[in-house]
Amino acid sequence: MTTLFNRKRTYFLLMLFGVTIGTLTLHSQTVILNKSNPLEKISRATLRNIFLGNNTAWENGVRIQIVDFSADNTLRKQFDENILDMSPQKVGMIWVKVTLSGKSIPPKIVHGEEELKNFISENEGAIGYVKNTNNLPQSLKLIPIIDE
User: Is 148 an interacting residue with respect to other proteins (CB under 8 A)?
Assistant: yes
CB of 54 to other proteins, least distance (A): 6
Q: Which residues pair with 63 in a beta bridge?
A: 57
b/e burial code for range 2-12 (CB count within 10 A of at least 16 → b): eeeeeeeeeee
CA distance 91 to 132: 23
H-run or E-run covering 134: none
Closest contact distance (angstroms) between CB of 86 and other proteins is 5
- Judged by CB under 8 A, the stretch of 8-16, 29-37, 95-103, 136-144 that binds other proteins is 95-103
139 binds other proteins (CB under 8 A): no
Count of C-beta atoms within a 10 Å radius of residue 33: 21
The count of residues interacting with other proteins (CB under 8 A) is 42
CA 39 to chain centre: 14
Residue ranges that bind other proteins, judged by CB under 8 A: 43, 45-46, 48-49, 54-59, 61-63, 65, 71, 85-90, 92-94, 96-97, 99-103, 105-106, 108-109, 118-119, 122-123, 125, 148
